Structure 1
Amino acid sequence: MRLELEENGSTCPKCGAPQQNGISCIRCGIVFHKISGTAARSTNSPVQSPGYRSEHNLPFATLIRLSQLILLCSLFLLVLSYHYQDVLPPADFYADVELSDPVQSKTSLAPFKVRSSDIIYTITPIQNYRLQGVVVSYHNSDAWWDIYHHRSWQDFINIKDICVIWGENVSSGIYLNMAFKNSTWTCWAYWPDTETARRFSMHQLSNNHLLVLDENIREKLDQVEIGDLIRLSGVLASYSHSNGQFYRGTSTSRTDTGNGACETILLTEFDIVKSANPGWQRLNTVAWWLCAVSLILIPVLIVRAPVRWSD
C-alpha cells in the first residue's frame, strides 16, 4: 500500500499529527517521500521466508559447511597418521642393510672450546665412533616438559637423544614385541614376557646424547622419526661449560648399564638412510595444515558472511 498525504487536512502517516504543506512531519520529523518510497518497495517485494539471507552471490553457508567437513576429516586423519607414523616396520624392511656393532677407534682430536647461546663449552674427544641402526625412540631436548637441559643444566648443544638398536635385535624382529620410550636422559625398553627378554640383547641397544654444532646436521636430526634407519659418525666425548658445575661424560662400552651407560657423541656426519613411514608422516603434516586452516577459516567466514535477518 502506498502511503500518501491527504491533500486537505493532511496527517502524518507515522504519528498521525495534523500537517501543513511541507516535506517533513512537524512532530516526529520523518521525511514523507522516504517513508512513502519504503512502503512502496515493501509492497512490491516478494515475500521472504523467515531466517537469514545473503545479499552477495558468494555461497558463504556452503563454504562454512565445507570448512567444517574438512576440519572433521583432518582431525580424523591427524589421529590416524599420528599413530601409524610411529609404527616400527617389520624386520625385512632393513634386510638389505648390514646392521653390525658400532665401530670406535682412537682419536687424535684435542680438547677444544665452543660458544653456544653465550655459554662456553669445553669438549673433550675420547674416541672416534660410527653407528648404523634403527631408531626406536627419541627425545628432543627443547620439549616443553624437559626442565633439565635448558633451564637447569643450560645445555644447548645436546639437542636430541636417540635410542638405537642393531644386529640380531633387528634381524630377529623381536623388537616388534616390545615398546620403547625416551625420558629426559634415559631410554626404556619394555617386554611382555621373559622369553622376549631373553631374546632381546641390551648390548645391541644404545641411548645416544647427540651434540650438534653444525646447522645442516641439526636440520637432518629434526627430520628423524621412529623406525628410521640412520647412520652417524663423530667422536665419543665428555663436555662441560662455564656456567656452574655442569659436566657430562660418555660410555665407551656397549655392555655397561645404569647411570653413565649412554654414549655422548659429537656429530660430524648424520644421515637418514631409510625413512620408515614417509607416507604417514606426509599425511600427518597435511592433516595438521588442513586442521589449522579450517580452524581459522570457519570463524572468518561466519564473521564476514554478509547476512541479515528478514521478517
Structure 2
Amino acid sequence: MKKLLLFLIIAGAAWQIYHHRVQVTLGPGVTVSELPQQTSIESPVIHSVDGYAIQEVANFAIKAKVLSRENYYLGREADLSPVDLALGWGNMSDEAVLEHIEISQSGRFYFWRTASLPIPRREIETHSANMHLIPANAMVKKTLGRVRKGDLVEINGSLVNASSTDGWRWRSSLTREDTGSGACELIWVESLNIITP
C-alpha cells in the first residue's frame, strides 16, 4: 500500500511538472475580443452530484485565453471542481501584455504581479478571473484534462452555487467587476472546446 501511494505521488508530481512546462504560444495581439456572456435563468435547475446540490443561478458563456491552470485533489471543493483555470480576454489575451505579468494560482485563488503595469490595473482586474470548473459530463472532464496554459477555450454552462446537507456552501461570483475572496466564478460546464489555432 505504501509503495502504491508513493508511486501515485511521484506520478502526480511528474505529470504536474510536465503539464506546467507545456505552454501554447500564439504571439502578440488580442486573441479574444469578446466579453463573457451572462444571462438570467427563468427556471433554475438543481443538479445532484455525489451528495452535493448544484443550483444554477445564471447562464454563462466565455471565450478566453488560459493564463494558468491548477489541479486540485484535496478538500470538498475538489470533489466537484478538480481544476481551476485563470482566464483572460481583451488585452488580457494579448501575449505582448501578458509577458509583463507574472501569473500564478494557489489555494483556489489567482494571483498576478508586475514590475510595471502594461495596461491599467482595473483592466487587468476586470478582464481576467479565476474560474472553478465543475464538469457536467465525461466529455467535458476529458477535454479539461487536455487544456494547456496559453490555449484558447470556449466554455458554456451556468454559474452555480453548491451546497451539502451539513451546511457546507460554495457560491459563485455573479460579476466580472469584483476582486479578492468570493470573486471567482463557479461554473457548471456543459461544453468545453479548445479552439487554439
- What TM-score does the superposition give when structure 2 sets the normalisation length? 0.81
Q: Which residue of 2 aligns with 1:165?
A: 88
* CA deviation string 1:26-54 (max 9, x = no partner): xxxxxxxxxxxxxxxxxxxxxxxxxxxxx
Which amino acid in the other structure matches residue 168 of structure 2?
F
* CA deviation string 1:278-302 (max 9, x = no partner): xxxxxxxxxxxxxxxxxxxxxxxxx
Moved more, 166-175 or 214-223: 166-175
Aligned with residue 98 of structure 2, among 153, 157, 175: 175
2:36 paired with 1:102: yes
Matched residue SS, 1:173: helix
Matched residue SS, 2:82: strand
Q: Which residue of 2 aligns with 1:236?
A: 159
Q: Which residue of 1 aligns with 2:22?
A: 85
2:33 paired with 1:129: no
Structure whose alpha-carbon radius of gyration is higher = 1
Matched residue SS, 1:174: helix
5+ residue gaps, structure 1, are 1-80, 276-311
Matched residue SS, 2:141: helix
Q: Which runs of 4+ in 1 moved over 4 A?
A: 81-84
Shift of 1:177: 1.2
Which amino acid in the other structure matches residue 131 of structure 1?
I
Which amino acid in the other structure matches residue 140 of structure 1?
N
Which amino acid in the other structure matches residue 158 of structure 2?
V
| 2-structure distance, mates of 1:232, 1:254 | 15
- What TM-score does the superposition give when structure 1 sets the normalisation length? 0.53
| 2-structure distance, mates of 1:137, 1:83 | 9
Aligned with residue 140 of structure 1, among 62, 68, 71: 71
Q: Which residue of 2 aligns with 1:264?
A: 186
| 1-structure distance, mates of 2:161, 2:177 | 19
Matched residue SS, 1:201: helix
Q: How does 1:26-45 map to 2 (within 5 A)?
A: none
Matched residue SS, 1:216: helix
| 1-structure distance, mates of 2:163, 2:53 | 5
Matched residue SS, 1:168: helix
* CA deviation string 1:78-105 (max 9, x = no partner): xxx878623644224x65xx43110110
Which amino acid in the other structure matches residue 60 of structure 2?
Y
| 1-structure distance, mates of 2:82, 2:154 | 17
Shift of 1:106: 1.1
| 1-structure distance, mates of 2:40, 2:19 | 42
Shift of 1:212: 1.4
Q: Which residue of 2 aligns with 1:70?
A: none
Identify if the C-alpha distance between structure 1 residues 181 and 88 changes in structure 2 by more than 3 Å, giving closer, same or farther.
Answer: farther
| 1-structure distance, mates of 2:124, 2:137 | 33
Percentage identity across paired residues of the two chains: 21
- Of Structure 1 and Structure 2, the greater strand share is in 2
Equivalent residue pairs, number: 179
* CA deviation string 1:182-227 (max 9, x = no partner): 112101112122x336365210001101111301100000001100
Aligned with residue 190 of structure 1, among 113, 117, 120: 113
Q: Which residue of 1 aligns with 2:11?
A: none
2:167 paired with 1:245: yes
Identify if the C-alpha distance between structure 1 residues 101 and 154 changes in structure 2 by more than 3 Å, giving closer, same or farther.
Answer: closer
Matched residue SS, 1:91: coil
Matched residue SS, 1:202: helix
5+ residue gaps, structure 2, are 1-17
